[in-house]
Chain A
């Protein structure tokens, strides 16, 4: 089933197979040329000429093998696509034969969807549109359903990893290399200001550069201080008991782990990726444990407050009773005494 001129997707399996054959032929000719190039003997050539021929041969060999890989990928893509198209053409009789087959197809589709717990609205619409079209003789519906199926299939063909362009892969690889290499280059030697060379500076610039260059070391010192402080905090006893103390200990331990990680990142000299776990540990565990401890403290305080309030109420009641007794006593004394 190929298409009319208005369509975005046209598949011609015969042409595709023919082109795949051409590509295969080109690839075998290329590999023959590569092989012939491989057996060129540079042994007896004079030195410079031998080096030049060797270099050119290597470069040509990689160029030809890259082209051959591209041709192979293209041929594979074409063959597979042609196979798929032919398969769809063979199974396409479901969309073009009689009512019984169409109704059977629709019911079978419903049963399959039920069995697979799948809700395929587009498929259902297409199947019943086929039945309706066949019953009413409205070929437009059948055509539309068939074209919908073609579009869907073609989109999956175009998007799936049947064939990736060799140059696209190379481009992605180059971008990755550039990013990784750029990152390494950006981090490399950040801590050592140039004391010689064109960027060394003169006069006050040199000591100033040294001073600013020491800032990361100061950061390392701060991290070391933090590490010592966290260790101390972990060893220190808090005026807490039970679960609250346990959470405080966990928090202090995680803070210590985080700051030791910071210290390790400083020692590695790579601020970015190695520092991240330290920061994450500090932030996440620190805030989390802070919240828990705060919550427990609040509960304890509230409980204490409630007890105090209750005591106050009881005290007040006691006082009121005393007062009433006193008043009643004095009144009785006044009346009878």
Chain B
């Protein structure tokens, strides 16, 4: 027996809602992935905040030699490098938060487009 597709209004609405549901699930999955990645990056950022300022520690020492002054210069450079890495991690967190928010907005917009009262 052939499976003839019905074209009644209720069926069309049901199919429309099902397609929207799939989109919504996708958007919600993306939101969850963004939030998870954001938390992981935030953890890396917290770890990086625990790095002591080696440049300041080196500046507080008294030993002097050409190698020691080179080392001090390098260590203050490393401080800058760590700071810039922390800044970039912050930017990454912002990016992921924006991605999550966008996915959430998309999901709610799709939810609003659903035909109400159809199973």
Contact = CB atoms under 8 A, between A and B. Distances in A.
Contact of A71 (B50, B78, B99): B78
A165 B74 contact: yes
Interface string B37-57: 100110111011011101001
Contact of A33 (B44, B57, B99): B44
Interface residues of A, number: 54
A169 to B, nearest CB: 12
A154 B68 CA distance: 11
Contact of B58 (A19, A39, A44, A57): A19
Contacts of B45: 33
A34 B48 CA distance: 9
Contacts of A81: 67
A10 B63 contact: yes
Most buried by B among A42, A43, A67: A67
Which DSSP category, helix, strand, loop or mixed, fits chain B's interface? Answer: helix
Contacts of B29: 44
Nearest to B75: A74
Contacts, number: 137
Interface residues of B, number: 44
Contacts of A57: 92
A108 interface: no
Given A26-B51, A46-B99, A158-B67, A40 B61 contact: no
B36 A158 contact: no
Most buried by A among B43, B63, B74, B96: B63
B113 interface: no
| The 6 A-B residue pairs with the shortest CB-CB distance in the complex, in nearest-first order | A44-B33, A36-B44, A33-B47, A33-B48, A29-B51, A40-B40
Given A11-B63, A29-B51, 11 more contacts: A12-B62, A22-B57, A23-B75, A26-B52, A33-B44, A37-B41, A45-B30, A45-B37, A46-B30, A64-B85, A167-B77
